Amino acid sequence: MGQAHPPRRGTSASAARRTAWVLVALALVSINLRPAITTIAGTMGQLQAGFGLDAHLLPLLGALPVLAFGVSAPCGPWLARRLGTGRAVAAALLVLAAALLVRVLVPGLLLPGTFLAGASIMTASVLVPQIVKANRGTGWWTGLCTMGFGLGAALGAGLVQPLQQALGGSLAWALAVWAVPALLGAALIHRTGQTGGRPDGTGGAASGAGLQETTTAGGATSEAGTIPLRKQRTAWAVTAFFGLQAMLYFAVTSWLAVFLVSKGQTAADAAGLLAWFSVAGLPASLLAPVLAGRRAVLKVMAPGLGLLVAAALIGVLTAPVALQFLMVGLLGIVQSAGFGLGMALVVIRSAGPESAGSLSAMSQGLGFALASLGPLGAGFLHEWSGGWDASFWALAAEAVLLAVAGFLAVRGRAVSVAAAEAEQLGEPAAVGR
């Protein structure tokens, strides 16, 4: 019998390079998944003059991406099963680039183009946890992705006006230019996905080297022992956590600036504090998934974040103008940590890559559908009560429900779309045991 040879250094170096490229690709993909929304939000006052949009359609324009999120979430796993995960994300980014161009360069397509952009974003977004799980990524991987979401949102909001000035005052081109990073992201994630195995998914996930997930012969997942997600309590708890934190986020970002103006802030200062809300949360969105990787921390963190969000909301409501910078920053930190934890739970509480993809589609699809009610509910309570107290106290009560969902999400069996998947991958059945 021949002597076994140790692994070659070249093989190890090649695997390290592939891992590095996967991380770079994930970061670039994540950064591309928010500017399509925040660039429009940051130029809402110019859209009537720039594109002839009826003022009555502005609320619909703001709601379209979230509505698209809710209806398009199943597209990601469906595409991944047919193209492979890397190619599916690349295809979604190509459609996103096309949507970013046609919605501002073709008359009359601002609304349908924005909906298509939202659908493309969600198709790619639900596959990010699946890529992390397939590559056995750590909490730093998920943290890098969630920070990329926040960074992309901040860049979209902060750069659209300077870009408009640099491009001769053209709002259309200042919005269309964001197709360029989407194309770069598509090229990189497709190139990285090519190294991970065949389109049917075999050969990549088992080693963690690529973006494709392991499937049975012929590219189809085994149906033996399939357990529907709707019958798994952990799946519903993770979905509730993701949806509630998203509802809080969209309610806060929609109305925070208006609330601050009512408290005596100037419009410019209120806009600056809204940007500070996003920037302050960037480190938390990176660190929350890392800390969640420790079971003892996760058991406290998941319910604890909801209570901290509730306290921060009441702090913003009651704080004087002089303390709003501090309170808005604290709210941004705990709110962004909630998003990071929501993404991390999809990875941590799923038994394998395919389960992560299915749980991601369920939690983000239903979660964002739920999130669309946040801005509407907060606005209705404001109109009904004539002030902001009712809105903020309702949001604080919702944050308490977030704590309950977090408590339930970290207990019970890991989510699996196949009964034997958790055992095959060596995943623990429960975090709390």
Do 286 and 306 lie in one domain? The reply is yes
Picking from 168, 191, 214, the residue at the C-terminal end of a domain is 214
Is the predicted pLDDT of residue 175 greater than 80, yes or no?
yes
Report the chain's mean pLDDT, rounded to a whole number: 80
Model pLDDT, residue 95? 97
Do 53 and 154 lie in one domain? The reply is yes
* pLDDT tier, 218 (very low <50, low <70, confident <90, very high otherwise): very low
Which residue, among 330, 352, 347, has the nearest Cα to 276 in the 3D structure?
330
Model pLDDT, residue 276? 87
- The count of structural domains within the chain is 2
Do 255 and 366 lie in one domain? The reply is yes
Model pLDDT, residue 119? 93
Is the predicted pLDDT of residue 296 greater than 80, yes or no?
yes
Task: Please give the structure tokens belonging to residue 429.
Answer: 């059945």
* pLDDT tier, 182 (very low <50, low <70, confident <90, very high otherwise): very high
Is the predicted pLDDT of residue 387 greater than 80, yes or no?
yes
Which domain does 158 fall in, by range?
A: 15-214
Residue 316 or residue 258, greater confidence = 316
* pLDDT tier, 406 (very low <50, low <70, confident <90, very high otherwise): very high
Model pLDDT, residue 5? 53
Task: Decide if 402 is inside a domain.
Answer: yes
Do 228 and 210 lie in one domain? The reply is no
Do 21 and 74 lie in one domain? The reply is yes
Is the predicted pLDDT of residue 433 greater than 70, yes or no?
no
d(CA 280, CA 303): 21
Percent of the chain with pLDDT over 90: 30
Model pLDDT, residue 193? 53
Model pLDDT, residue 365? 82
